[in-house]
């Protein structure tokens, strides 16, 4: 591609992004031509009346004309003024350059992942992708990581609970950060017990500042509640009144004893009390299928806002007009100054003489060929330097 073709493409791309906010200002382009058609401006000024006006006119060799004398403008001045006028109108038209569009996602759902990290999550009764035995916690983190990656339009929060619940990540669109914090989870970090009711209570508090219409909690646990300050079912009632839907996912062995036994019935009651659904996963494949079902059940709900930033361009034509006018006046002033310098060369064949005009009293024949005098006896006399006044006869 030649340089000319490249320049044409760049110019076309620039014009495609150019927009005029006040294009009506360009209608003023022919205004100077219309103003020249108007009658000239007239103004009365005081004048000096002399009795020998006709003599002065004949002596000067000029024919008096009515009206004012308008000094015509040169072609260069006309071009400069026309360019300045066009640049000013371009600035008034307010050109702007439209930047590439920026897209912003406005989520309509807050999704909270509440994960049980009690010591029982160390049990190696799950298998990884290669079929090798793995901890429950490892399988949960693997499945949740995929689930978060698919929820691009939701604000996602992360809550861990055991003996105490705590917020690992507030609601955010920075899903990469949530996935990193999830990867740092270790069984037993929150104590050795499972307080599901307290985890629901903290979940409700996290939604207090939320303004989105859809609020969802996905609670995963492999045990039974072991003494929450607020019973799980009562906490579920509070969540329902706050407009929060809770889906529960049970993992683990319901035939186990003590704290290692997953309370499937309690998780079902929590989900039903809030209008959610309860699931049970016996292995990693089942767990992944559950979260795919949750994907279909809680479809992403968000708005995409797009706008194009505007970069104003009016300073460029405005600055060019000012530079053009100031440059023209500077050049004209410099030329006038140089014209009167003592070293300025005079045109050949001309000789400059100063002329002094006086009013003298005449008692004899009028000098300089004037054929009559003014009534009061005064006449206009011109002398060159060194010329003596004429003596009266």
| Reported confidence tier of residue 213, pLDDT bands at 50, 70, 90 | confident
Chain centre distance of CA 183: 38
- Per CATH, the homologous superfamily of domain 104-306 is von Willebrand factor, type A domain (3.40.50.410)
Give pLDDT, residue 317. 92
Over residues 342-351, mean pLDDT: 52
Of the candidates 109, 163, 119, 168, the one whose C-alpha atom is nearest the C-alpha of residue 144 is: 168
Give pLDDT, residue 385. 45
- Read off φ and ψ for residue 37, nearest 5 degrees: -80, -10
Q: CB neighbours (10 Å) of residue 38?
A: 7
Q: Strands 126-127 and 356-361, how do they pair?
A: unpaired
| Reported confidence tier of residue 306, pLDDT bands at 50, 70, 90 | low
Over residues 171-196, mean pLDDT: 89
Rounded distance, CA 76 to CA 82, Å? 10
Rounded distance, CA 128 to CA 281, Å? 14
Over residues 355-378, mean pLDDT: 43
Whether the CB-CB separation of 177 and 169 falls below 8 Å is answered with: yes
- Mean pLDDT, the chain, whole residue set: 78
Token reading at 177: 């950060």
Q: What share of the chain is helix, strand, coil (3-state, %, to 5)?
A: 40, 20, 40
Rounded distance, CA 343 to CA 331, Å? 19
Domain boundaries, the chain: 3-98+314-344, 104-306, 348-393
Give pLDDT, residue 9. 64
Q: Strands 214-221 and 244-251, how do they pair?
A: parallel
| Reported confidence tier of residue 288, pLDDT bands at 50, 70, 90 | confident
């Amino acid at each position: 591609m030649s340089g000319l073709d490249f320049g044409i493409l760049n110019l076309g791309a620039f014009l495609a992004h150019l927009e005029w906010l006040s294009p009506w200002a360009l209608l003023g382009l022919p205004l100077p031509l219309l103003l020249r058609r108007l009658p000239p401006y007239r103004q009365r000024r005081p004048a000096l009346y002399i009795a020998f006006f006709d003599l002065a006119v004949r002596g000067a060799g000029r024919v008096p004309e009515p009206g004012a004398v308008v000094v015509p403008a040169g072609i260069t001045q006309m071009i400069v003024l026309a360019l300045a006028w066009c640049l000013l109108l371009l600035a008034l038209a307010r050109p702007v350059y439209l930047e590439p569009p920026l897209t912003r996602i406005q989520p309509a759902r807050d999704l909270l992942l509440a994960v049980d990290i009690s010591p029982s999550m160390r049990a190696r009764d799950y298998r990884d992708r290669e079929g090798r035995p793995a901890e429950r916690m490892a399988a949960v983190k693997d499945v949740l990581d995929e689930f978060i990656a698919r929820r691009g339009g939701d604000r996602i929060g992360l809550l861990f609970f055991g003996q105490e619940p705590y917020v690992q990540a507030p609601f955010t669109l920075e899903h990469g950060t949530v996935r990193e914090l999830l990867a740092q989870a270790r069984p037993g970090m929150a104590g050795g017990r499972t307080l599901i009711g307290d985890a629901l209570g903290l979940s409700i508090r996290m939604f207090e500042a939320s303004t989105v219409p859809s609020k969802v909690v996905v609670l995963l646990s492999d045990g039974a509640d072991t003494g929450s300050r607020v019973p799980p079912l009562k906490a579920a009632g509070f969540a329902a009144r706050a407009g929060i839907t809770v889906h529960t996912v049970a993992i683990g062995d319901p035939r186990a004893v003590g704290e290692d036994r997953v309370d499937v019935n309690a998780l079902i009651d929590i989900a039903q009390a809030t209008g959610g659904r309860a699931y049970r996963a016996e292995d990693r494949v089942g767990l992944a299928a559950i979260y795919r079902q949750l994907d279909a059940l809680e479809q992403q709900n968000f708005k995409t806002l797009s706008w194009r930033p505007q970069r104003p361009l009016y300073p460029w034509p405005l600055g060019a007009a000012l530079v053009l006018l100031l440059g023209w006046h500077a050049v004209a002033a410099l030329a006038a100054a140089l014209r009167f310098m003592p070293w300025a060369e005079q045109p050949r064949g001309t000789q400059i003489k100063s002329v002094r005009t006086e009013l003298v009293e005449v008692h004899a024949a009028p000098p300089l060929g004037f054929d009559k005098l003014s009534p009061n006896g005064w006449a206009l006399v011109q002398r060159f330097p060194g010329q003596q006044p004429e003596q009266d006869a």
